[in-house]
Amino acid sequence: MIGRKLLAKLPIERFRHPPPVVAVVPLSGIIGRIGPIARGLSLRALAGTLERAFSLGDVAAVALCINSPGGSPVQSALIAGRIRALAAEKKVPVYAFAEDVAASGGYWLLCAGDELYADQSSIVGSIGVVSAGFGFPELLKRIGVERRVYASSEHKAGLDPFRPERADEIEHLRSVQDDIYAAFCAQVRARRGDRLKGDEAELFSGRFWSGGKALELGLVDGIGDLRTVMRERFGDKVKLRVVGDRRPWWRRRMGLTATSASTVLAAIEASLDERALWQRYGL
């Protein structure tokens, strides 16, 4: 009798019908290498995390939590491609959520989801390619410094910031940008299809919008946060399991065990570059 009473109190129903599991993958930061210390998002760093997320027992879905102002188009494409390949292989749906910003390469990652969500005030879009730098030829003349460059071919030292710009080198850079831009636009069209509602000239102009406007343009499917949407999809008892990098925090942050003065200076420079990219979106 006592044994039956004890068995009756056990949550057997939980074992018979366990709550659905959603693997949550945070994708936060600049995409690509940003310096000798700070490491941005890359397929090499994320491959294990993504594999674990899609391989959790009885996983009902994978949710991408994205907060990125962009970065490397190559790493954006590689990461998004791996997510789609795993989704097809494991037959697991992917939901993507924009936090503060999912712009440029960050939006490329957002498009890896089957359904895309943002906060009303999220920054979304910036579909385009940009190259930026400085030119110093007049400064060298002013301080009496002679620039000496020895290259094996005519364009090997193209776009050198210490030489005057050449029209043919700028034209070549623009042609490379056009190729990358075309790939970005093709990815967005392939993933969003007829859900895109805005004029293409506006959608692919490089502009970014609030989450609310992005919904009007068809860049996202809804306004909502990860927990609320997952509970709506899979019930109040859904288990959200964050899957992250298993490396020690100091290796994730630094990527090495010792630093030199030049490494620290390079890290400061990379940090300023990273800050400038975030500030473009007012963050």
Interatomic CA distance for residues 162 and 164, integer angstroms: 7
Interatomic CA distance for residues 5 and 263, integer angstroms: 66
47, 25 in Cβ contact below 8 A? no
Single-letter code of the amino acid located at 49: T
36, 275 in Cβ contact below 8 A? no
Say if residue 3's pLDDT is above 80.
no
Q: In degrees rounded to 5, what are phi and psi of residue 149? A: -130, 130
Q: CB-based burial of residue 233 (10 Å sphere; 0-12 exposed, 13-18 middle, 19+ buried)? A: middle
**Dihedral over alpha carbons 85, 89, 90, 92 (to 10 degrees):** 50
Could you tell me which of 86, 92, 117, 78 has the C-alpha nearest to residue 219? 117
Query: pLDDT tens digits for 108-164?
Result: 999 999 999 999 999 999 988 777 767 777 777 788 777 777 777 777 777 777 777
**Mean of the pLDDT values across residues 234-261?**
67
CATH topology of domain 12-127+194-279: 2-enoyl-CoA Hydratase; Chain A, domain 1 (3.90.226)
Predicted local distance difference test score (pLDDT) of residue 109: 97
Query: pLDDT tens digits for 40-95?
Result: 899 999 999 999 999 998 899 999 999 999 999 999 999 999 999 999 999 999 99
Distances (CA, A) of 150 to 31, 142, 146, 153: 33, 23, 13, 9
Could you tell me which of 117, 107, 129 has the C-alpha nearest to residue 175? 129
226 pLDDT tier (thresholds 50, 70, 90): very high
- The domains of the chain are located at 12-127+194-279
**Mean of the pLDDT values across residues 250-266?**
45
